[in-house]
């Protein structure tokens, strides 16, 4: 019974004990403003508003309680501070080129009875400087472990540092924070330790600083590293399918850091070595069957050596189909196709002529039966004179 009845009393006491109590939200003469965050070097706008001004003007003052503006009247000679808007219900000012020293609590006042005030906390962000990487001195050897350090000063609040190698994230130590001598900004540092491989030769190790003042902009520094490693090699024939009588070059393609400076050519079962030179190619001016065999190339640098092998099989001298022979074959095929079409055309033309000639001879034979020629008529006439009714026809 006592618990529920005491609750309204506790709420009433709490509202009376609070500064201004619940009446603050109902006091039309109470000004209001908002907290602002600005990057050092930027511009901040302070806006103060009131619903009922009671025929009094609004005033802005800085953390040192120096009056900046009283209504539309400038009170402090600082060209960075400008009037934005002044009405009976609003007073807005701007501060440009904000410095870390401008941070603090600004007060908006209205001189009613009693005087009413509102506070605006201005937070100034310190922009971190471009990070600096240290710890890299000279070339690294393969499988060697190295430690790099990164440092950036001037951030407020303290920035965070991250590491990456190319597109791969590196897990460095947690960011260490140290306050700068000005007592406002901070210096942050981090280190990363990793083992290098031959794939890291020429890689960029990047240290990036992350801070809200950068608004997503990239601020980073990179360190390119060099890794020394033992060479590798492989043998490449030119042409790839050598035949007897051709010229052949065997290229020993060495890779390493530093690159191989010496190449030793050997043939299994043959002593002494064929060739030792700074050039990587072994030349066969005119291939013979006896050149077949297994060849070895040893590529050497001051980091070590590597031996590659290649088995040479000299093929018969019959020509390998080349692009020119393929071209000739295509031309020959086209010509054969055209000849074939001509033959078909001649056959159809001959058939057509034969059919029409036969028709022409048939018409001639019919014409001879109906109208005998002059020789036949002469013979018939002579027969009529000598033979009477017996008529004989002779066709000459």
- Cα 214 to Cα 45, 98, 123, 223, distances in angstroms: 20, 16, 15, 22
Helix (H, G, I), strand (E, B) or coil at 12: helix
The answer to whether residue 395 scores a pLDDT higher than 90 is no
Mean pLDDT over residues 386-396, rounded?
39
Q: Is residue 94 scored above 60 in pLDDT? A: yes
For residues 45 and 84, what is the distance between their CA atoms, to the nearest angstrom?
8
What pLDDT score was predicted for residue 258?
95
Q: Is 252 in contact with 265 (CB distance < 8 Å)? A: yes
Give every CB contact of residue 347 below 8 A, 6+ residues apart in sequence.
none
Average pLDDT over every residue of 138-156: 96
Q: How confident is the model at residue 214, as a pLDDT?
A: 94
The per-residue pLDDT for range 336-372, each reduced to its tens digit, is 999 999 999 989 888 888 877 665 545 554 454 454 4
* Interatomic CA distance for residues 108 and 47, integer angstroms: 9
Give me the domains of the chain, ranges plus CATH numbers: 31-125 (2.60.40.10), 132-218 (2.60.40.10), 230-312 (2.60.40.10)
Res 21: pLDDT:
35
Q: List pLDDT tens digits, range 42-62.
A: 999 999 999 998 889 999 999
Tell me the per-residue pLDDT of 5-28, one tens digit each, with 9 for 90 and over: 443 333 333 333 333 333 344 688
b/e per residue 65-80 (b: at least 16 CB within 10 A): eeebbbeeeeeeeeee
Q: Which of 48-57, 221-230, 279-288, 338-347 has the highest mean pLDDT?
A: 221-230
Q: Is pLDDT of 318 > 80?
A: no
């Amino acid at each position: 019974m006592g618990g529920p009845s005491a609750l309204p009393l506790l709420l009433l006491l709490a509202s009376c004990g609070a500064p201004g109590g619940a009446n603050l939200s109902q006091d039309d003469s109470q000004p209001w403003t908002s907290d602002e965050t600005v990057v050092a070097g930027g511009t901040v706008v302070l806006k103060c508003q009131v619903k009922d001004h009671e025929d009094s003007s609004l005033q802005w003052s800085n953390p040192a309680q120096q009056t900046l503006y009283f209504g539309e009247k400038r009170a402090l000679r600082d060209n960075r501070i400008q009037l934005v808007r002044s009405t009976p219900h609003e007073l807005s000012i701007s501060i440009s080129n904000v410095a870390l020293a401008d941070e603090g609590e600004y007060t908006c006042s209205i001189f009613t009875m009693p005087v009413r005030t509102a506070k605006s906390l201005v937070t100034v962000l310190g922009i971190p400087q471009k990070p600096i990487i240290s710890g890299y001195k000279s070339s690294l050897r393969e499988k060697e472990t190295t430690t790099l350090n990164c440092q950036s000063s001037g951030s407020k609040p303290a920035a965070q540092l991250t590491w990456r190698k190319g597109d791969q994230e590196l897990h460095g130590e947690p960011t260490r924070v140290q306050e700068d001598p000005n007592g406002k900004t901070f210096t942050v540092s981090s280190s990363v330790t990793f083992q290098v491989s031959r794939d890291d030769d020429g890689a960029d190790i990047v240290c990036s600083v992350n801070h809200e003042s950068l608004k997503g902009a990239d601020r980073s520094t990179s360190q390119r590293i060099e890794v020394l490693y033992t060479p590798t090699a492989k043998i490449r024939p030119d042409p790839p399918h050598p035949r007897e009588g051709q010229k052949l070059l065997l290229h020993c393609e060495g890779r390493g850091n530093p690159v191989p400076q010496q190449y030793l050519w050997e043939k299994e079962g043959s002593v002494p070595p064929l060739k030792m030179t700074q050039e990587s190619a072994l030349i066969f001016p005119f291939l013979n069957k006896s050149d077949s065999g297994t060849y070895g190339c040893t590529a050497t640098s001051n980091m070590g050596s590597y031996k590659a092998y290649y088995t040479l099989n000299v093929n018969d001298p019959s020509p390998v189909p080349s692009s020119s022979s393929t071209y000739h074959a295509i031309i020959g095929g086209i010509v054969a196709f055209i000849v074939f079409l001509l033959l078909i055309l001649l056959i159809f033309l001959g058939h057509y002529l034969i059919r029409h000639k036969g028709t022409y001879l048939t018409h001639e034979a019919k014409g001879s039966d109906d109208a005998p020629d002059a020789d036949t008529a002469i013979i018939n006439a002579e027969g009529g004179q000598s033979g009477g009714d017996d008529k004989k026809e002779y066709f000459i």
